[in-house]
Structure 1
Amino acid sequence: MLLVALAFVVLILIGMPVAFAIGLSGLVFFFQNPDLPATIPVQITVSQTQNFTLLAIPLFIIAGNFLNVSGITEQLLKLASVLTGRLRGGLAQVSLALSVLMGGVSGSAIADAAMQSRMLGADMVKRGMSKGFAAGILSFGALLTPIVPPGLGMIIYGTIGQVSIGRMFAAGIVPALLLWLALGIAVAITARRRGYPPERTRRVGLAEAGRALRGGIWALLFPVFLLLGLRMGVFTPSEIGAFAVLYAIAIGVVVHRKLTRASFFEGLSHSLADVGAVMFLIALSAIFSYGIVYEQVPDAISGAILGFSESLERVTVLIVLFVLIAGFVIDSTVLIIMLTPIFLPLIDQLGGEPVHFGIVFIIAATIGNFTPPVGAAMYAVCSILRTSVGDYTRESVPFFIAVALVTLALVFVPSLVLFLPNALFNP
């Protein structure tokens, strides 16, 4: 497998698309083992797409795109401004609130970071914030989006690891609120030191608050309906994806009345590109994963880690550090697909809770989107705001520290993650 890993790294470094890099490097394993039937790569690639649970992924992508083209983003921005506009840091605090509210709509950190940069980035700079600071908070704030249900990372992790997706959805809520609090404090401290003013100087009236809540209520209820549907057994994870699509269409047509024929096909067009990219990646990852299982790589890695420590907390911290380093060069979705079969059995062996590990793992994997040298969200935000990676990195240090402290708290206090899923679902 060493040659396979080397081939993957080389293909990534020369700029090959990640899905092809995974598939081609996986084929190297079969060239090394000519006794294996040549039909296996084709068979496992096709069979990977036949997993019924994975149907939730394209359905939630379609639902999110329909909600986006239905005008709900503007309503959520108004609500976010009402909630946090008077806090120190102004639009930076608003962006954090919007990331939490957008979790049920977008589910993608990269998409949220790029969207908010276009919506808020220029205005943040006009209000006196440095470009590096604006880019840093818009990027790291997007970390909140994929851990608010229905994050795609949760669905992929739950499907690969055979972990309850309903419990994963519920488990992401409290960590998202803690990350929001930590990042908000980091913004407030920087804003006080630099004199960044609040976005609003007057109190919000009841009438304005009511209008903002009415405009955003349907997006806020979206994850609630998902959790209730799963908790009451009304839907399976795949079926609730279909409900999400119908819900998004109903909101766009009946409530906001902005889902026209043109915007409907615009949403489908965006969904086609998103679904194709994600599902192609998942399908080709089966070739790579086959060699990992065949060579018993998970057992070898587990043995090496257990030789260092048998403490669940220490092992989890080691895994988080490994994922953070890997995230410097590999996309978060790829990390979840490739590393879940390796690390989840080890956590099970040590008596860990798969849902708890899943949330910590997804947070660690997603951080790579915001760090040099290849963070996709980082480059998207820096490109839109026309700031250098150096300025971005320097200004992002407080946000990285805030996220790191919350992640450590989640590792050592599992109840922060498991409280809500244990309350809603059977432990």
Structure 2
Amino acid sequence: MALTAMLVVLLILFLINVPIAFALIVSTSVYFFFTDSFVMAVLVQRMIGGIESIPLLAIVFFITAGILMNYTGITARMLKFAEIITRPLPGGLAQVNVVLSTLMGGLSGSNIADAAMQSKVLVPEMVKKGYSKSFSTVLTAATSLITPIIPPGIALIMYGYVGNVSIGKLFLAGILPGVALCLSLMVYVYFYAKKHNLETGEKEKITLKEFMASFKDAILALLLPIIIIGGIRFGIFSATEAGAIAVLYALVLGLVIYREMSIKQLIRALIETVHTAASILIIIGAGSAFAWILTLEQVPQKMTAFMVGNISSPLLFFIVVLVFLLIVGMFIEGNVSIIILTPLFIPMLIQYGVDPVHFGIFFIICLSIGTLTPPLGTIMFTTCSITGTKIEDFIKESWPFLIILILAALLIGFIPQITMWLPSILF
């Protein structure tokens, strides 16, 4: 009775568009109201316990580092480097969009931040080059989905924390799938540009001097993910300490090396960090209490028994999970889904013999795809609101990208070597 009431209230609050964190807190409170086993103080204890964790500091640190990077001049340098390496390809500016998302993913760790930045910077320039606004917006939204699986993606840290999975292995596991997604979208852009005759003419050749100049400007930023992964792999620092190193690195770049970040900008970046981190941490706290109740009611065990009893093949399991997560991603914000669903899926992985690191990458990609679809796709609304694209135009243009992303997710699910090759070698 109490569990049913909690889930019904949560669904109603979702439908009336109550903010996710408050919907979780209110629905969880309903459970305590209908049961005599616990006092309401347990809810507060569970919320505080959910965020009282050293590993969670990694999220705060990497958010801080990503925001600081926006004030250091890194974005302009990465944009220039992406323009140089994609210049010979048809659809040059669209190719820049794809490559920049991949490069910036290793710095910001947030797909919404990257989508918003590129919607402001690249979409207007793409429209000037002859691309439709709807295509430019959808491309920006789709390429931002690479960010969550490129280290140090915030989603990877959250999944690792909730599922008790090695964050260092997750960082390594996301590299090849991220590169594969990048190349898949670049191939599509290549044929799209050819078909519509966009930026297909003769272009100025890249000189070695020009390439080296842009590479020199970008190399310090490109080194950050390497420093993070290398430090974790060789035991120099933990994932949490890596976040602190990333913050220090961003400060050195902005204040000492590039000298493009003023004290006023530093204060603004820190205030922005507090707002962003607080919104994520309150969701984690509320989600932890909600997940505790699901565990208390043995929902993960019951779901595992149901899945194993009806689905025998691991491949069919991935297909069912994909469909389920695409639907969930349409309605629920990705971070919330990770907190609520990870404890439900982890017991199933043992039964199907699926490595939790491999599943984590597949899980995050599937949830990310849902952010491009109505009715509540966060990336869709973010990019459309910035560029002024109509939702119906976005939906019409998004089908090829959704097909590419879904096929990529299935390949990653079916072929564990794509995700597990690097972790198996380096760990």
Instruction: Classify the TM-score, shorter chain.
Output: over 0.9
Establish whether residue 315 from structure 1 lines up as the match of residue 309 from structure 2: no
Q: In structure 1, the residue corresponding to 2:331 is in which secondary structure?
A: coil
Establish whether residue 132 from structure 1 lines up as the match of residue 131 from structure 2: no
Q: Distance in 2 between matches of 1:168 and 1:213?
A: 28
Q: Which amino acid aligns with 1:32?
A: F
Structure 1 residue runs of 4 or more that deviate by more than 4 Å after TM superposition:
none
Q: Which amino acid aligns with 2:93?
A: L
Establish whether residue 10 from structure 1 lines up as the match of residue 9 from structure 2: no
Deviations 1:338-373 (A, max 9, x none): 100001110122211010000000111111221111
Partner of 1:187: 189
Establish whether residue 74 from structure 1 lines up as the match of residue 108 from structure 2: no
Q: In structure 1, the residue corresponding to 2:106 is in which secondary structure?
A: coil
Establish whether residue 271 from structure 1 lines up as the match of residue 285 from structure 2: no
Establish whether residue 168 from structure 1 lines up as the match of residue 170 from structure 2: yes
Q: Distance in 2 between matches of 1:127 and 1:195?
A: 11
Quick one: which of 319, 331, 339 aligns to 1:337?
339
Q: Which amino acid aligns with 1:128?
A: G
Please say if residues 149 and 169 of structure 1, whose CA atoms lie closer than 8 Å, have aligned partners that are also in contact. Answer: yes
Deviations 1:129-178 (A, max 9, x none): 11111111000010111111000000000011110000000010000011
Please say if residues 19 and 281 of structure 1, whose CA atoms lie closer than 8 Å, have aligned partners that are also in contact. Answer: yes
Q: Which amino acid aligns with 1:33?
A: T
Q: For residue 61 of structure 1, report the CA deviation from its aligned partner.
A: 0.7
Partner of 1:390: 392
Q: Distance in 2 between matches of 1:91 and 1:363?
A: 25
Q: Distance in 1 between matches of 2:270 and 2:349?
A: 39
Of 357-366 and 392-401, the range deviating more from structure 2:
392-401
Unaligned regions of 5+ residues in structure 2, if any?
none
Q: Distance in 2 between matches of 1:212 and 1:69?
A: 19
Of 313-322 and 220-229, the range deviating more from structure 2:
313-322
Partner of 1:422: 424
Please say if residues 332 and 365 of structure 1, whose CA atoms lie closer than 8 Å, have aligned partners that are also in contact. Answer: yes
Partner of 1:31: 33
Q: Distance in 2 between matches of 1:244 and 1:403?
A: 30
Partner of 2:238: 236
| TM-score, with structure 2 as normaliser | 0.97
What fraction of aligned residue pairs are identical, expressed as a percent? 39
Please say if residues 50 and 289 of structure 2, whose CA atoms lie closer than 8 Å, have aligned partners that are also in contact. Answer: no
| TM-score, with structure 1 as normaliser | 0.97
Q: For residue 7 of structure 1, report the CA deviation from its aligned partner.
A: 1.3
Partner of 2:62: 60
Q: Which amino acid aligns with 1:242?
A: A
Q: In structure 2, the residue corresponding to 1:267 is in which secondary structure?
A: helix
Could you say what the CA RMSD is over the residues aligned between the two structures, in angstroms?
A: 1.3
Please say if residues 323 and 365 of structure 1, whose CA atoms lie closer than 8 Å, have aligned partners that are also in contact. Answer: yes
Partner of 1:201: 203
Q: For residue 195 of structure 1, report the CA deviation from its aligned partner.
A: 1.2
Quick one: which of 143, 152, 155 aligns to 2:154?
152
Of 129-138 and 198-207, the range deviating more from structure 2:
198-207
Of 151-160 and 104-113, the range deviating more from structure 2:
104-113
Q: For residue 90 of structure 1, report the CA deviation from its aligned partner.
A: 2.1
Q: Number of residue pairs matched?
A: 425
Q: For residue 38 of structure 1, report the CA deviation from its aligned partner.
A: 2.4
Q: Distance in 1 between matches of 2:192 and 2:362?
A: 27
Q: Distance in 2 between matches of 1:389 and 1:192?
A: 26
Partner of 2:403: 401
Unaligned regions of 5+ residues in structure 1, if any?
none
